[in-house]
Chain A
Amino acid sequence: MRIAMLRDPLPWSLAALLLLAFAMPLLKPLFAAAFPALARPLYEQDSFAALLLAHVLIVAASSAAAALVGTAAGIFVTRSAGREFRPLVETLVAIGQTVPPVAVLAIAVPLIGFGEWPALIALALYGLLPIVRATIAGIETVPQSALDAADGAGMTAAQRLARIELPLALPVLLAGLRTSVIINIGTAAIASTVGARTLGSPIIVGLSGFNTAYVIQGALVVGLLAIVTDQLFQRLGRHLGRWRLPA
């Protein structure tokens, strides 16, 4: 039991993430030794804890919006009333995904200006596709026999959706959300080019100022954040799909 706990990567990666976010200044001598040519070997315009918080908030807000809109769209096109819109919705989100995130940001700036908003909108649009796809795929995995039985038992369309279709689609839906959030964690780093304060700030500043130490510091924290998030999703997925497991 104790060994199994030690083997679980989640506590380790979470500890590393928090340590880097709060104790990065302690590593200053290390970066100074590794990059002796740099006058400022540590990114100090913002604390990494504040950047991490801002990054998490911007990802959470954009992913929540993407999840809400994406799931609603996925549900709509799998209803009999919305079936004919399905090709249109699928094409739209696919086109959205082919536009590179930098381009979405570049288009957003002249329209809404610099700051957090263009970043939020670009990220939300960019995270839609995996969620819409997963919602449709998830609802399609629900066995026809279960749908027939739900109708025969006298469930209304709303009851069938809430009690049978969504719970059975949830594991696939969650996989889509996971992909979407992980993509957004990476893309949010680029969003600092339009003035949003994220963990991408040290990376962008480092790249433009030839400061490799800044780039490493930002990249380390973003990478760990992605790993921790991915494992949290994995755990949640296991919890939600526990009825599939053998007794």
Chain B
Amino acid sequence: MIEFDGVGKSFGATRAIDALTLTIERGEFVVLIGPSGSGKSTLLKMINRLVEHDRGKIRFKGEEIRSFRPEEIRRRMGYAIQSIGLFPHWTVARNIATVPELLGWPAARIAARVDELLALLGMDPALYRRRYPHQLSGGQQQRVGVARALAADPEALLMDEPFGALDPVTRQTLQGELARIHRASGKTIVLVTHDIDEALRLATRIVLLDHGRIVQAGTPAQLLATPASAFVSDFIGRSDLGLKRLGLQTVAERLRAGEWVDGEALADTLSLREALSVFVERGVERLAVVDVQGRPVGALHFSDLLRRTG
């Protein structure tokens, strides 16, 4: 879907991106992560030509991005940013309709799409359609920002620290919704963040950058299990590496089916990290597990958490 081939970019004497090669496949959720100044944001903005690269080639669906007009390629990719950038003089509906309007969709199709997206992001269309951005909370504004990015059903979604300015609870909710949207739509998403937990939670592939180069790229499990260098383990955080590994798996994956114990049950969709917290809090060694519908499905032993990732 998106290929970087020996791409470089310099700002004056500093090399922001240095001979970088990376291929992003259709349907991937790639998280670009790294310390400040690692070039992650620059890399993202090069995809829709908000920043032009100096060296190498960037291809979108096999075609060089320079063969498109910048406006055209931007309209084909959704774009969401940390500062959200809703247009304060437009209603929520018109904000979401930005790209469809630029593409000249008929009004009825735009209106239907706006309502569909508001509902998708858990906002009642009848209540919010006509509001102005300043009448919304920060979390609601970013929901509208995400809806705007999704509005024209783009082929790829580019997100630059979209949840960076939100409080932890809202951030988690929106991360969950984005993961759900990714699973349901199969869209290619490229997201920039400096938050390793966000990366581990959302990514199908993490690309860790430093000084404009890729330090390591791989699935969250690969990064946790085999960090390529001391820099990677430091960045992920040595002290709670084990907990982060547990965070990648759900109770359902380690469950002893058919076994049953008494007491309050765990949902099998919880992460093993959350299960560990329940073990410690209740001071028990075995817990009952139920599925989403609340039906008992088995049990989880404390020792099950210690089995190596398979």
Contact = CB atoms under 8 A, between A and B. Distances in A.
A243 B86 CA distance: 13
B280 interface: no
A143 interface: yes
A159 interface: yes
A195 B100 CA distance: 57
B85 interface: yes
A143 B158 CA distance: 21
B87 A164 contact: yes
A149 B81 contact: yes
Interface in B52-76: 70-75
Contacts of B148: 149, 153
B157 to A, nearest CB: 11
A152 B89 contact: no
B131 A152 contact: no
A247 interface: yes
Contact of A153 (B83, B102, B132, B134): B102
Contacts of B132: 243, 247
Interface in B70-110: 70-75, 79, 81, 83-90, 98-99, 102
A156 B103 CA distance: 12
Contacts of B225: none
A163 B87 CA distance: 9
B86 A149 contact: yes
B48 A148 contact: no
B88 A143 contact: yes
B85 A146 contact: yes
Given A145-B81, A247-B131, A155 B71 contact: yes
Contacts, number: 70
B269 interface: no
Contacts of B119: none
B22 interface: no
Contacts of A243: 88-90, 132
A143 to B, nearest CB: 7
Interface in A133-155: 143-155
A206 interface: no
B50 interface: yes
Nearest to A247: B135
7 contacts: A144-B83, A145-B84, A149-B84, A151-B74, A152-B158, A154-B75, A247-B132
Interface of A: 143-156, 159, 163-164, 167-168, 243-244, 246-247
Interface of B: 48, 50, 70-75, 79, 81, 83-90, 98-99, 102, 131-132, 134-135, 145, 148, 158
